[in-house]
Amino acid sequence: MYDRFQRIEYHIFQKIHFEKVHHSYKKFELNLRIKIDKYMKSILIPSDIGLRLPVIMIPIGDISEKGRSFLNILKKESFPAESYNSFQQVCQLKNVPCPESVLAKIYVCDSDSNLMMIRNRLQKEKYLFYLNCFIIVGFIDYTVNKDVHNSKERTKNFCVHPQQMNYIIYQADPDANILKEHSDRTHISFYSFKEKDAIVNIRQFLVPLIFQSIQTQIIGFPSPDKTSLRAAAKINAATALSRYSLLFLSDSKDDQIAAFSETLKALDSFKDIEPCKHASIFELMAMFEIKYPKTVKEMRFLDRIPYITPLWTFTDEKEKNDVTYLYSIAASIYSNAKSPTKMIDCLFRLFHYLRKIKSTNSKMIINLILEATNTICSNSNDDLMQCRAFELMEHVNRLGYEKRIPLLSYKFGNSFKDDAKLDFQLQTIEILYKQSKSEIVLRDLCGPIVSSLLKCALEPSLICKMIFRLLSAIGQFLSPLDQEKLFTRLIDLSMGDLRIPCDIGLSATQLSVISEFVSIQQINNETNASGNSGPIFLYNGLTKSKQNEDNFLVGVGNQFRIEFYLYNPFGIDLPTIITGSRVSDCITSEYHLPLQSKFHTKAFCCFTPLIAKEYIIDSIDCAIYEGVQKIKLPRSLKLTAIEGVPNFSVRTDLPLSNVMNLYDGEILNINLWITNSGNVEIENLTLKFSKIKASYDPIKLPIKSYTSLLIPITLEIDQSLPEIKIEIIANSKNTKYASFATIIQPIHVEAAVSIVSIEPLTSLPEIDADFSNISFVAADIKNYSDSVFNYSVAFESTAKEPYLINFPGIISKNNTLGVLSPHRTTSFILALDKSIIKSPPSLAPRSKKINAAKMEEEKLNKKLSDKQRSLLDKRVEIATFIEENLKFMWNVGSGRRGKLATNLALPSVEMMEDSIHIRPCVTYSFECENVLENKIIQTKQKVILNVFFNPIKIEKCELQLGVYQDSDYGVIWNGMLEKNYPEGVNSASFELYFIYPGKFHFKLEYSTIEGVHGHKVISLETVNSLS
pLDDT confidence band for 228 (50 / 70 / 90): low
Which element (helix H / strand E) includes 450? helix 439-454
pTM score, whole prediction: 0.51
* Helix, coil or strand: residue 890: strand
Under CATH, which architecture does the 35-220 domain have? 3-Layer(aba) Sandwich (3.40)
Whether the predicted pLDDT of 744 surpasses 60: yes
Q: Which amino acid is at 595?
A: L
pLDDT confidence band for 517 (50 / 70 / 90): low
Q: What is the mean pLDDT of the chain?
A: 81
Q: Is residue 633 within 8 Å of 618, Cβ to Cβ?
A: yes
- Side by side, which strands form the sheet with 600-609? 507-514, 560-567, 600-609, 586-587
CA atoms within 13 A on the CB side of 830: 35
| Alpha-carbon distance values, 966 to 254, 401, 411, 969 (Å) | 148, 128, 136, 6
Q: Which amino acid is at 492?
A: D
CA 586, 589, 592 angle in degrees (round to 5)?
150
Question: What is the pLDDT at residue 37?
Answer: 37
User: What confidence tens digit (pLDDT) does each residue in 610-649 have?
Assistant: 888 888 888 889 998 888 888 899 888 888 888 888 888 8
Question: What is the pLDDT at residue 713?
Answer: 94
pLDDT confidence band for 168 (50 / 70 / 90): very high
User: What confidence tens digit (pLDDT) does each residue in 555-595 have?
Assistant: 888 888 889 999 998 888 999 999 887 788 888 888 899 99
pLDDT confidence band for 32 (50 / 70 / 90): very low
What would the CATH number be for the domain defined by 926-1023?
2.60.40.10
Furthest C-alpha separation in the chain: 176
Same fold, 35-220 and 655-750: no
Of 904, 782, 921, the closest CA to residue 855 belongs to 904
User: What confidence tens digit (pLDDT) does each residue in 837-886 have?
Assistant: 777 888 888 888 888 888 888 888 888 888 888 888 888 888 888 888 88
Whether the predicted pLDDT of 889 surpasses 50: yes
Q: What's the whole-number mean pLDDT along residues 464-493?
A: 79
Question: What is the pLDDT at residue 887?
Answer: 86
d(C-alpha 842, C-alpha 140), whole Å: 66
User: What confidence tens digit (pLDDT) does each residue in 341-366 have?
Assistant: 999 999 999 999 999 999 888 999 99
d(C-alpha 1018, C-alpha 962), whole Å: 12
Q: What's the whole-number mean pLDDT along residues 67-95?
A: 89
Strands (E) located in 643-752 = 648-652, 660-663, 666-676, 684-689, 693-695, 708-716, 723-731, 737-750
Name which of 36-50, 421-435, 655-669, 850-864 the model is least confident about.
Answer: 36-50
Superfamily of domain 655-750: Immunoglobulins (2.60.40.10)
647 vs 835, residue with greater confidence: 647
Whether the predicted pLDDT of 470 surpasses 90: no
User: What confidence tens digit (pLDDT) does each residue in 410-436 have?
Assistant: 888 888 887 788 778 777 877 776 776
Provide the percentage of residues in the chain whose pLDDT is more than 90.
21
Name which of 279-293, 657-671, 770-784 the model is least confident about.
Answer: 770-784
Strands (E) located in 895-977 = 897-899, 921-927, 936-938, 942-950, 954-960, 971-974
Whether the predicted pLDDT of 391 surpasses 60: yes
Of 963, 956, 950, 1006, the closest CA to residue 981 belongs to 956
* Helix, coil or strand: residue 1011: coil
* Helix, coil or strand: residue 169: strand
Question: What is the pLDDT at residue 26?
Answer: 34
Question: What is the pLDDT at residue 707?
Answer: 92
Q: What is the dihedral of CA 144, 150, 156, 157, to 10 degrees?
A: -110
Q: Is 659 left (phi over 0), alpha (psi -120 to 50) or beta?
A: beta
d(C-alpha 193, C-alpha 170), whole Å: 10
Question: What is the pLDDT at residue 803?
Answer: 58
Could you confirm whether domain 500-524+549-642 is CATH 2.60.40.10?
Answer: yes
Q: What's the whole-number mean pLDDT along residues 992-1000?
A: 90
d(C-alpha 727, C-alpha 738), whole Å: 12
DSSP annotation of 1014: E
**Percentages of the chain per state (helix, strand, coil), in multiples of 5:** 35, 30, 35
Whether the predicted pLDDT of 10 surpasses 50: no
Whether the predicted pLDDT of 758 surpasses 60: yes
Whether the predicted pLDDT of 11 surpasses 50: no
Question: What is the pLDDT at residue 73?
Answer: 92
* Helix, coil or strand: residue 371: helix
Torsion over CA: 766, 767, 772, 778 (sign) = negative
Residue 53 has phi, psi (to 5 degrees) of: -75, 120
CA 116, 122, 127 angle in degrees (round to 5)?
160
d(C-alpha 254, C-alpha 88), whole Å: 19
303 vs 949, residue with greater confidence: 949
Question: What is the pLDDT at residue 548?
Answer: 53
Instruction: Give burial (CB, 10 Å; 0-12/13-18/19+) of 601.
Output: middle
Whether the predicted pLDDT of 198 surpasses 80: yes
d(C-alpha 1025, C-alpha 1005), whole Å: 31
pLDDT confidence band for 765 (50 / 70 / 90): low
List residues bridging with 974 in a β-sheet: 991
| Alpha-carbon distance values, 293 to 321, 832, 1005 (Å) | 10, 107, 125
Strands (E) located in 173-246 = 186-190
pLDDT confidence band for 800 (50 / 70 / 90): low
Question: What is the pLDDT at residue 714?
Answer: 93
d(C-alpha 753, C-alpha 549), whole Å: 43
User: What confidence tens digit (pLDDT) does each residue in 132-154 have?
Assistant: 899 999 999 998 988 888 888 88
List residues bridging with 977 in a β-sheet: none
Instruction: Give burial (CB, 10 Å; 0-12/13-18/19+) of 77.
Output: exposed
Question: What is the pLDDT at residue 1013?
Answer: 80
d(C-alpha 591, C-alpha 583), whole Å: 16
Pairing of strands 971-974, 987-994: antiparallel
Residue boundaries of the structural domains of the chain: 1-34, 35-220, 500-524+549-642, 655-750, 756-915, 926-1023
Q: Which amino acid is at 377?
A: C
Name which of 9-13, 82-86, 963-967 the model is least confident about.
Answer: 9-13
Question: What is the pLDDT at residue 438?
Answer: 63
Question: What is the pLDDT at residue 138?
Answer: 92
Whether the predicted pLDDT of 20 surpasses 60: no
List residues bridging with 980 in a β-sheet: 956
Both ends of the chain: CA-CA distance in Å?
A: 126
Whether the predicted pLDDT of 237 surpasses 70: no
Of 1002, 1007, 884, 901, the closest CA to residue 943 belongs to 1002
Q: Is residue 643 within 8 Å of 649, Cβ to Cβ?
A: no
CA atoms within 13 A on the CB side of 862: 5
Q: Tell me the range of 23-32, 106-115, 540-549, 838-847 where mean pLDDT is highest.
A: 106-115
